[in-house]
């Protein structure tokens, strides 16, 4: 098989369909010091409708935040209570994989493996959690 990544061409800017969503618990190296922390990465695998072997991956880190809406208000106080939310955050280290690369693969499972392998410099799937 040829190199699994290709630059995005005009042929690979067309419609796609979501064919798989995968989440992995990983040890993620963050920052220039390479500190390792546990994280959850969410992969969406999209297949191009005009090419059954061409895929794109979108990768997010799931992060937990405590948030509160600031509007509407009553006498300067928010009406809505504080809530704990899980947000999908697209990190800079994942952007080239998410936006620029076309993955060549036989199916969505192979495409997610290619995407995971591309992230090996910054993460390692935790033992017993897929892969």
Instruction: Encode pLDDT of 8-45 as tens digits.
Output: 555 567 899 999 999 999 998 877 777 888 999 998 99
Percent of the chain with pLDDT over 70: 82
In percent, the amount of the chain with pLDDT more than 90 equals 36
Unique residue bearing structure tokens 């959690």: 129
User: Residue 131's pLDDT is what?
Assistant: 46
99, pLDDT greater than 70: no
Answer for the pair 55, 111: CB distance below 8 angstroms, yes or no. Answer: yes
Looking at the chain, list the stretches that DSSP marks H as alpha helix, in order from N- to C-terminal side: 92-99, 108-118
pTM of the model: 0.72
Which distant-in-sequence residues (6+ apart) come within 8 Å of 96 by Cβ? none
Question: How far is residue 41's CA from residue 26's CA, in Å, rounded to a whole number?
Answer: 7
Distance, CA of 75 to CA of 23 (rounded, Å) = 43
Classify residue 116 by burial, with Cβ atoms within 10 Å: 0-12, 13-18, 19+. buried
């Amino acid at each position: 098989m040829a190199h699994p990544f290709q630059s995005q061409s005009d042929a690979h800017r067309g419609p796609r369909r979501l064919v798989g969503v995968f989440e992995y618990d990983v040890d993620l190296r963050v920052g220039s010091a390479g500190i390792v922390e546990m994280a959850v990465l969410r992969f969406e695998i999209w297949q191009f409708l005009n090419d059954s072997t061409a895929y794109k991956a979108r990768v997010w880190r799931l992060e937990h935040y405590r948030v509160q809406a600031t509007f509407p208000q009553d006498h300067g106080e928010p009406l809505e209570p504080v809530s704990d939310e899980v947000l999908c955050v697209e990190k800079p280290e994942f952007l080239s994989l998410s936006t620029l690369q076309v993955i060549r693969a036989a199916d969505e499972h192979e495409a997610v493996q290619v995407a995971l392998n591309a992230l090996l410099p910054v993460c390692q799937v935790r033992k017993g959690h897929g892969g």
